[in-house]
Amino acid sequence: MRDIALVGIGKIATDQHVPALAASEDWRLVATVSRSGTVEGVEAFTDFDAFLEGRPEVGTVSLCLPPVPRYAYAEAALRAGRHVMLEKPPGATLAEVQALARLADEAGLTLYATWHSRMAPGVAPARDWLADKRIERVAIDWREDVRRWHPGQEWVFEPGGMGVFDPGINALSILTAILPFDIHVQQATLEVPENRQTPIGAEIALSGNVRAVFDWRHEGEQTWRIEVDTDAGRLTLSEGGHRLTIDGAEQGPAAGGAPIPGEYPALYARMAELVGAGASDVDLAPMIHVADAMTLGRRETARPFEF
């Protein structure tokens, strides 16, 4: 097993990263860095530089910080000779993640820009089924309640927080994993609350007859659905990629009854593979589509939003 440190002990870390590491056969969580959060039984630091100096033998760090401060931590870790795993989105800008990728390559270190939704069990079978099909239409319907998933987290509506694209990028990460061709944003409409900086709703049209609707105000049943109409029928990924149907028939994502790992355990298994192979994985396609939507999007003022 390899030693790893977890940086940023907030909701996503405690809900997903800590349990995934506790169950991992590849990793041993030996340190955390956070201003306030800790993990029972694990050495806790409040300063990242103090961790880097005090635990030089810990060769890998997983960064669960919000996107805006993440670059400085990742750069410091790479310059200190540590492999780096990035929570999604991998940074606040494309340029900074590209700079990190170059730095990791020059240092011979692993940099992994993770997209957890790609690890949902229906995604790989969907990609395989679509590989030889003619795709006629794609519709994404991604609606959830920001108060439920990001309670009181004001940073999501600040510059760099991405607003509704924080969940929307999950859909785009699945889309770019399953389509057998490249796509690009053609137009977008962004609904921005008058008291906020980032959108709470968005509609996007992409090439290839792809349409996406994202809404962060949805208080009913949470909806994470992608429909793909093809010359061989309709493929549907629902429940964020965990359920796959073709023309309404359920498809078994785990062939032969093999156990299905959770998204985050699968991410950490992938990180172990990358470190072992001396490789990196920095796919920025989902982030490029968000950046393009922000650039091309027509902004409409929405009613004020408060948590």
What is d(CA 189, CA 297) in angstroms, rounded to the nearest whole number? 5
Catalytic residue among 17, 70, 83, 88: 88
DSSP string of 41-99, one letter each residue: TSEEES-HHHHHHH-TT--EEEE-S-HHHHHHHHHHHHHTT-EEEEPSS--SSHHHHHH
What is d(CA 9, CA 232) in angstroms, rounded to the nearest whole number? 46
DSSP string of 4-46, one letter each residue: EEEE--SHHIIIIIHHHHHT-SSEEEEEEE-SS---TTSEEES
Please say whether the beta carbons of 114 and 88 come within 8 A: yes
Q: How many CB atoms lie within 10 A of CB 120?
A: 26
| β-bridge partners, 125 | none
What is d(CA 26, CA 30) in angstroms, rounded to the nearest whole number? 13
For 117, which DSSP code? G
133 is catalytic: no
Torsions phi, psi of 132, nearest 5? -115, 20
Cα angle for residues 295, 296, 301 (degrees, 5° grid): 90
**Could you write out the three-class secondary structure of 165-193?**
HHHHHHHHHHHHHHCCCCCCEEEEEEEEE
What residues are labeled active site? Answer: 88
